[in-house]
Structure 1
Amino acid sequence: MTRSPGTPLPPPHERRRLREAGALTRARLAERVGVRPGTVRAWESGRRSPRGRNREVYAKLLAALAGSAGTAGDAERGAGAGAGARESVFARQKEEGTAVVTVRLEKPARRGAVVPEASAFAQAPPQAAPRREPVPAGHEGTAGLTPAQAFDALYAFCAPALVRQAYLLTGRRDLARESVERAFQRAWDRWPEVARDPDPAGWVRAAAYEWALSPSHRWRRHDRRAEPPPPGADDRALLDALLRLPPPYRRTLLLYDGVGLGLPETAAETEASTRAAAGRLTYARESVAALLPELSDPDELHRRLAELASTGRLRAAEPPEVRGGSERRARFWTRAAVAFTVALIGTTALTLRTAPTRYEPPVPAGETVRGVPPRVAPGPLSEERRELRDRLREELPGGPERLAPQTR
């Protein structure tokens, strides 16, 4: 009995395009199919493929979206392009060939009235999955970028906003710049992995947040110094309200009300369930509203967070400097690993050279033996023994006559 082939599905990037053309979010589409939003994201990125009943339902839903798109979908995409959606091109060269893969990050408008370009948090959100398209042979020099150029483009697009976000997380300017530099250095070390990631900007953002909120910074001496507060009283009050929140709550509030991520994406990036992320967000909003009642409106809170991040006047380092620091650190740790390996080999060889080749029983510890009479020193000699001693002393130089064998 042979198994019938599965229902044909469009390519991964076409699935995402059909969903966006139908004005459906991943959460709505996942609810219709009966799966989680992360599963839909994996289907659209090509990491996984639907099976069984989910495949049938998903294929029918995509077919319906494709039939209802038509000219209306084309007009909607044209209007979206004219609305000023930002996109940057990132590329990497394949290790096995000369073809170049182009990665396109699209910037959709955030919910609310804030224009993304004017916001201090403008960067590519994780729900905008990149689209990979092979470049025809002979066009590599015009359409493709080298890994260094792709990294520099990603850094120029994300670093300024990430520095301001890290400042809101920590309240320290130096730590914010250091967090972003370390995150991008780590991304450069793992650039093939980051280039293949569906959301490279989200990858770097998560790494920067983890470094900024690391509890090990409290033990460093230069992080204990007092940081100059913002000049405005309102900004100081808002920053103080943020720093009073626990780090997970502060991160959730910044991702949802600052960056503008959805609740499922915020929960995934903070490694929490959607219900836990919603609870953290509610608690953080209530805590900020208790100190600053005028920020009870989420849109007003978003605007004030953007203004506070912009007052820091933070600048990120240049991309070549970040790449150079990553390469220097990689060389240092490589040399340290080589030196440690050589020292370990030398120690092992010395141990094998000087180690005994046979078993030598240990010398037992001394014990006290009782019942043995003590040694008695010689006493004074009698007259008779003294005369015998004198006679023996006189005969010692000459001695008795020696007996010599005689031959016959």
Structure 2
Amino acid sequence: MTQSPAPPLPPPKERRRLREAGSLTQAQVATEVGVSRETVRSWETGRTNPRGRKREAYAKLLTSLGEDTPTEEQLPAEEAEAAVEDTAEIARLAGLAGLAATVTEPQPTPPPPPPAPLTPAPLTPTQAFDALYAFCAPALVRQAYLLTGRRELARESVERAFQVAWQRWPEVAVDRDPAGWVRSVAYEYALSPWHRFRPRYRHPEPPPPDSADRALLTALLKLPPSYRRTLLLYDGVGLGLAETAAETEASTPAAANRLLHAREALAAQLPDLSDPTELHRRMTELASTGRLHAAKPPTVRFVGERRTVFWTRAAIAFTVAIIGATTLTVRTAPTHYEPPVPLGERVEGVPARVVQGSLSEEEVALRDRLRSGMTSGPERLAPLGR
């Protein structure tokens, strides 16, 4: 059995042009193909390409949009015909019947000069950061809520990720996928095991009011963090398997095994979620139930700048303390070398020890007194010989 070749797709820029020519949004295309809006965006930027049935559906949709959209060769002819009809109508209304025949005949006119290309003004770093935050922050807060089950932690994770992005904005601005960069940092912070030691996160938050949402959130939180993250990226966000493996820093087979085990664990507790499409819909509904709002971009930038200033000052103070301690040590250290005490040497010329001589009269009297005093003490028991 031979596998049919994958249908060809136009370049990424042509995909976007066909969608805009058909007056469709990315969300409408995503609904038509059966994927998320971020997946369609990655297809149009060239970061990923569809596969399998999604590729066939996407190619069919683009083909239908290309048939409905006039080509560049057809546009001048259609515009000429429309201009002829408009000119004839004007002549008829003006009552110029005699000149109508000459006016309605198409006259060869020189083509209009091409319009000058519009070069948009480059965005400032602040404007670019605010645009990225407004585009990614709401969705990232909902995704972090599915990872942690805590609204405050979800908001804090996204804000901390964007604060780090603002501190390293020259690197993030030239990244191939700035949204993926921020998403990776937010996920890492949200799944950090150190949050369990914080007093504000020791007690669980109130669960969702709906029983189905509570069951789904409980099943998600029972999964290991790596399985939960892989499931959210693949079935929730809509990334491909290779992109999911790269973002989770795992091999493609490892990511596939995590995804299969996560789906099996969810299906064992919630059999109605065995279908990935139904799982995606339920996860989207669960993430949209709570009031999850992120802070404003100026607030995030201000807090990030304050944190940078604080750590910079702390580093300067620590460096000054080390310099002061080093200077004090240098000033109080000895300025000359003191050799250690040598080992003991034999001393010559010491007089030899002499034996004890005869006792003096005082010493003899003291000896006699001591000997006589020992016998006048209390009675002692003496062993009797047998």
Mapping for residues 4-403 of structure 1, pairs under 5 Å:
22-23=8-9, 77-79=17-19, 81=21, 82-85=23-26, 109=30, 112-113=33-34, 116=37, 125=42, 128=45, 143-361=121-339
Query: Does the CA-based 8 Å contact 2:29-2:40 persist in structure 1?
Result: no
For residue 312 of structure 1, report the CA deviation from its aligned partner.
1.7
Distance 1:255 1:126 in 2: 16
Give 3-state SS (helix, strand or coil) of 1:356's partner. Answer: coil
Query: Does the CA-based 8 Å contact 1:186-1:326 persist in structure 2?
Result: yes
Distance 2:128 2:15 in 1: 31
1:221-255 per-position Cα deviation (integer Å, ceiling 9, x unaligned)? 11112211111100000000000100010000000
Distance 2:15 2:235 in 1: 31
Q: Which has the larger radius of gyration?
A: 2
For residue 306 of structure 1, report the CA deviation from its aligned partner.
0.2
Report the number of matched residues: 279
Distance 1:194 1:155 in 2: 12
Change (3 A) 1:294 1:328: same
Distance 1:252 1:327 in 2: 32
Q: Which residue type is aligned with residue 85 of structure 1?
A: Q
Distance 2:191 2:353 in 1: 77
For residue 155 of structure 1, report the CA deviation from its aligned partner.
0.2
Distance 2:154 2:24 in 1: 32
Moved beyond 4 Å, runs of 4+: 73-76, 121-127, 361-366
1:198-239 per-position Cα deviation (integer Å, ceiling 9, x unaligned)? 110000000100100111112211111221111110000000
1:307-354 per-position Cα deviation (integer Å, ceiling 9, x unaligned)? 000012100000000000110011011111111111111111111100
Q: Which residue type is aligned with residue 147 of structure 1?
A: P
Residue in 2 aligned with 1:57? none
Query: Does the CA-based 8 Å contact 2:161-2:185 persist in structure 1?
Result: yes
Change (3 A) 1:146 1:139: farther
For residue 79 of structure 1, report the CA deviation from its aligned partner.
3.5
For residue 144 of structure 1, report the CA deviation from its aligned partner.
2.2
Structure with the higher helix share, 1 or 2: 2
For residue 362 of structure 1, report the CA deviation from its aligned partner.
5.7
Give 3-state SS (helix, strand or coil) of 1:228's partner. Answer: coil
For residue 358 of structure 1, report the CA deviation from its aligned partner.
2.3
Distance 1:75 1:341 in 2: 55
Distance 2:295 2:263 in 1: 33
Distance 2:200 2:353 in 1: 74
Provide structure 1 residue ranges, at least 5 long, that are not aligned to the other structure: 1-20, 25-64, 87-106, 131-137, 374-378, 382-408
Instruction: Percent identity, please.
Output: 65
TM-score normalised by L of structure 2: 0.64
